[in-house]
Structure 1
Amino acid sequence: MKTLLLLSAALAASSVSAQTLTITHDEGRATVPTNPKRIVVMDEESLGWIAALGLSDRVVGLGSAYLTPSDVEGTAIKPNVLRDGFFGRAKLGNPAYVGDWQKPNLEVITSLRPDLIVRLTWDGNQNYDNLSKIAPTVGYKEGGAGFWQKGLRDLARVFGKQVQAEQVIKAVADTNRANGRKLLDAGIFRKYPKVIVVAPFAGGQNWVYTATRLIPDLRALGFKDGYSASKTTLGVGAQISDEALLGLDKQTLVVLFPPGGKYNGVDAFLKTPIGQRLSAQSVVYVPEDFSAYTGPLVSVRNSTDLTRIILEKMK
């Protein structure tokens, strides 16, 4: 009898283990149900990972800092918004709006009965404990090494999509390799061996991305860094002074990568004396509406569109 009880307990434990998976992520450890059916994504980055795995139809809640009151009605995101830009490429169903990283609507998230919450994070980000009380929550730091690849691979384990995840990662690398060859053959790296990514914000502040947000895609194409910041914010980048911008040499390609929506200050920057001085060695790369900053869907678009823009600049 004792042997039978021990065997029964072992089988029960094995069954529970098979139904859950422990994920070590950048905010701790979470025991996640395998193959979750109801997912809340707290930002566009995590949406991109879910979409790349072909699981957008399971997203029941969407967080976004881009959405404005005119984009939603209560908790419903207007259909035209869901068809636009990055959201359209993600092929969403009809997720509820759950606020943003600053003010997640915990009541709405609870009502959605998610079995998994995914989010981008950084040091000092709030609400992990509150979200974890609702459902298992995993978070990944944007400035971390292999940021989106780690998030994608972890989620692939949860959903049994490991092969697809590796195919997605390889497709990004293959795209960068092919586009890098186009730039090399066109002599781009002889003229501009180095690159800097500058984000002009409305109001006059300019930031340079040094660890993530477009710069890894440019490195993958074959460019070297044209600027290094002594100190960064959240491991992503740093504010750059006018003096530093004026000190850039002529062999540094300046990629102006404006933030989205009301924060976009690229037009004003180009009218400044600094913008005009750098114009001959600058290209403007505007992200699509509601775009994530990083991730497999974004990297493929970045690689292909940037290659085209740079080649056009050299004509």
Structure 2
Amino acid sequence: MRGTSTRSIARRSLISLMACGLVFAGGCSGSSETDPGAPAGTGSSISVEHAMGVTTIDSPPERVVALDPSYADAALLLGVPLVGYVQYRADPGNPFPEYLGDIDDKVADSVNVGTTAEPNLEQILELEPDLIISAKVRHEALYDQLTKIAPTVFSESTGPTWKQNIVLLGEALGRKDRAEELITSYEERAAAVGDQIRARKPEVTYSLVRFAGEDTARLYSSNSFIGEIMTDMGIPRPAGAPDTTDSIFTPLSMEQILKADAGIVMVSTYTPPGGEGDSSRDQQASFEANPLWQRLSGDVLQVDDEPFVLSVSIQGAHASITELAEHFGVDPRKDLIPE
């Protein structure tokens, strides 16, 4: 953990930035935690190469602020105190998703520091973290300000690189071996459950259609989170199905509904509180009322949006595998989920 004097310097530095009124503009100068030319740490210090350079952490962190929900999941997975977290959408009544299970004791002192789009730097400062974890795609513009608070480590993205991101956080925590073990355990379980499903239905294929209240639905690609889970289970997309490596989904209009057909058609609906969720439900109802929807030949399975799409975490992946095992009537192999 960083020493008190270091935190005091960081606190004064950021307060000076705030006094300049330039926290978000980045106009005041200050020292940076990241120096690509810095030597590797010695003793208990940890040097981490990441999307923004190299960050040296004095000792294994014990107070983590996660500025993406996937990293909050990863911090809890790796057993480190999560002092601060964000949500995709502000929903104080449901700070953590159900797929994380009973985590009340682990998050009793965790503080919501805003949304992914608008983290509150003053709240983060007050928490005195010794590590801030996020992604360049999320918070590149805030990186310099965050480094004034605590050592800050960024992955490039938060989606297709989810496994690498868990390892990155593990490295920053001094728990890289544990992170790799947990990924291996997940992959072994995915393969074991997938083998059973394919033994029961050798020609099984999948698609996932998501309704998010937009002009078109989303047909998720093999490059998405669910796409990687299904790849790890050995279950492919149908031959000739629309796919892309440039995005996590392709747009799907009503006229294209049959392009979503597969052995199992998973249906996911984004339903945050308020009008945004209502729009998603209305869109789903319109698609399902279309005669083309009735012509889908595969099993249509409504799945929980949080683990299957939003989670991008090992816990979410395990929850998704469990739900698929139940649908196909095979052993979910929960014995392969580490304690």
Give the TM interval when normalised to the shorter protein. 0.7 to 0.9
| Pair 1:84–1:172, CA change in 2 (3 A) | closer
Residue 94 (structure 1) aligned with residue 127 (structure 2): no
Offset of residue 305 of structure 1: 1.0
What are the Cα deviations for residues 79-120 of structure 1, in whole angstroms up to 9, with x where unaligned? xx4576145545423211111121111111111111111124
Give the 5 Å matches for 1:3-82: 17-55=42-80, 58-68=81-91, 71=92, 81=94
Offset of residue 280 of structure 1: 4.8
Offset of residue 41 of structure 1: 0.8
How many residues of Structure 1 are paired with residues of Structure 2 in the alignment?
Answer: 280
Q: Normalising by the residue count of structure 1, what TM-score does the alignment of the two structures yield?
A: 0.76
| Pair 1:228–1:131, CA change in 2 (3 A) | farther
What are the Cα deviations for residues 106-165 of structure 1, in whole angstroms up to 9, with x where unaligned? 111111111111124528864233322322222221344xx2222222222233323322
State the alpha-carbon separation in 2 of the partners of residues 236 and 228 from structure 1.
Answer: 12
Q: Secondary structure at the match of 1:183?
A: helix
Contact persistence 1:45–1:120 (CA under 8 A) = no
Q: Which has the higher contact order (CA 8 A, sep 6+)?
A: 1
| Pair 1:238–1:160, CA change in 2 (3 A) | same
Q: Normalising by the residue count of structure 2, what TM-score does the alignment of the two structures yield?
A: 0.71
Offset of residue 231 of structure 1: 7.2
What are the Cα deviations for residues 217-255 of structure 1, in whole angstroms up to 9, with x where unaligned? 1121121123344574xx433322333332345x45321
Alpha-carbon RMSD: 3.1
Give the 5 Å matches for 1:1-315: 17-55=42-80, 58-68=81-91, 71=92, 81=94, 85-86=98-99, 88-90=101-103, 91-122=106-137, 126-140=141-155, 141-144=157-160, 147-187=161-201, 189-190=202-203, 192=204, 194-210=205-221, 211-226=223-238, 227-230=241-244, 232=246, 235-249=247-261, 251-262=262-273, 263-264=276-277, 265=280, 267-268=284-285, 269-278=287-296, 280-288=298-306, 292-311=310-329
Contact persistence 1:33–1:158 (CA under 8 A) = no
| Pair 1:134–1:248, CA change in 2 (3 A) | same
| Pair 1:275–1:117, CA change in 2 (3 A) | farther
State the alpha-carbon separation in 1 of the partners of residues 309 and 251 from structure 2.
Answer: 22
| Structure 1 unaligned residues grouped into runs of 5+ | 1-12, 72-77
